[in-house]
Amino acid sequence: MKLDKNTMKKLVFLIAFAITFYMLLANIKSVGSVIGYIFGVAFPIVLGFFIAFVLNVPLKAIEKHLFKSKNKTVLKIKRPVSILLSVIIVIAIVSGVLWLVIPELVKTFQLLVDIFPDFVEKIKDKVVVLYNKYPEIKNLVDVANDNKEEITGTFVDVAKKAAGGILGSTFTFITSFFGGVVNFVLGLIFAVYILSNKEGLKFTFKKILKAWFPDNQTNKLFHICDVANNIFAKFVVGQFTEAIILGTLCMLGMLIFRFPYAGMVGALVGITALIPVVGGFIGAGVGAFMIMMEDPIKAVLFVIYIIILQQIEGNLIYPKVVGSSVGLPAMWVLAAVTIGGGLAGVVGMLVGVPIASTIYYLLRENVNSHYYRQEERKKRIEKLMELANENAPDDEDVTVVSHNETTKDGN
């Protein structure tokens, strides 16, 4: 059996792929380390693409509604002004939320500091009661007094280790914080460059792909990118809209029922609602804890209120605003959030739904394409059978065995 040139190429490719895949599996830890290192180095660029994607949502709206004129001067300043306005809008939203949240958090910590002495006194009174009530505790205290020096030395050693750990953690936190600020600034710069010439980048990327791959594969890849872009854009708009609605309703309800920290808790619930399905509960939990520090009864009433609000949001607001925009059934939304959170934490929760929606849309599109193709094939075969039966002699039946082949019974 002779192998032609194309078959040989396929065999060589399959063998090379199998060897490469085996080597990757055999050195999976080293591969993971290399990927982690590359991702760490390229993180500002990845962050830049993410920031550019978020800023592109208001950017398109601004260009569409504010710059309708075809004047050359207007066209020249359209993109830089739109980018600047988009950045200002995002910064204003983030600053407004921080302005609502941070002062209230400071007040809450101050409240905790103020009530801490009373809490210590209550604990001390309970310890005294237990000490007098249970002689076993008294015996333990006597044993502790007998071994005071040893216990003190052990406590000092533990305290030294803990202090060293705290100092190390503090240094790590400061380093990570400044590293995060630098990465964000670099990412923002990359985002501005990307948005300034996004059409040119798209054309260049398409040109490179067409130079290396067949047109049908390039068109498929760009179709996938277009679907993902549309779904992610709809998800971002829908999620922000839903978060604003939920945060506003939470704040208004708290003002009506006279719960404390209405502005801060409403903003916090709105921010955490950006995490699909479970985010609102996270903000509500923090809000309930803060209200409990001031009035436990109101905290219970707030929990009841937020549960009712979450039911309304989950069954009416979210499916209308976000679920319908990305076209993903509720069951798969929950699955996407769960799997995304397990794989990549909060980031996975945020991007899990649009990624799942993209996969769901493409699979549905592919299945529908095959299904309708099969249905069309069946209709053609049925039509051929009808035509063949109409033209056949009355005493003979004709059976279609393929798209364009007929045979008489017995032949």
Residue ranges of alpha helices (H) inside 313-329 are 318, 324-326
Q: Where residue 13 falls among pLDDT bands split at 50, 70, 90? A: confident
125-140, pLDDT tens digit by residue? Answer: 776 676 666 666 666 6
pLDDT at 410 over 50: no
What mean pLDDT comes out for the span 256-281? 78
232-250, pLDDT tens digit by residue? Answer: 877 777 777 878 888 888 8
The encoded tokens of residue 44 equal 């500002």
321-357, pLDDT tens digit by residue? Answer: 666 666 677 677 777 777 877 776 666 777 777 888 8
Angle at CA 344, nearest 5°, toward 341 and 346?
Answer: 60
- Interatomic CA distance for residues 407 and 411, integer angstroms: 7
The encoded tokens of residue 227 equal 């679907």
Share of the chain above pLDDT 70, in %: 70
pLDDT of 53 reads: 81
pLDDT of 148 reads: 58
282-319, pLDDT tens digit by residue? Answer: 778 888 887 887 778 888 899 899 888 878 876 676 66
Residue pointed to by tokens 């979450």: 310
pLDDT of 409 reads: 44
pLDDT of 330 reads: 65
pLDDT at 194 over 60: yes
pLDDT at 408 over 50: no
What mean pLDDT comes out for the span 27-43? 78
Q: Where residue 32 falls among pLDDT bands split at 50, 70, 90? A: confident
Are 302 and 262 a contacting pair, CB within 8 Å? no
pLDDT of 171 reads: 63
pLDDT of 400 reads: 46
Beta bridge partners of 398: 408
Q: Which of 51-65, 148-162, 227-241, 290-304 has the lowest mean pLDDT?
A: 148-162
Residue ranges of alpha helices (H) inside 69-147 are 72-133, 135-146
89-137, pLDDT tens digit by residue? Answer: 888 877 876 776 677 667 667 766 776 677 667 676 776 676 666 666 6
Burial of 187 (0-12, 13-18, 19+ CB in 10 A): buried
Mean pLDDT estimate for the chain: 75
| Helices 330-391 and 215-256, axial angle in degrees (round to 10) | 140
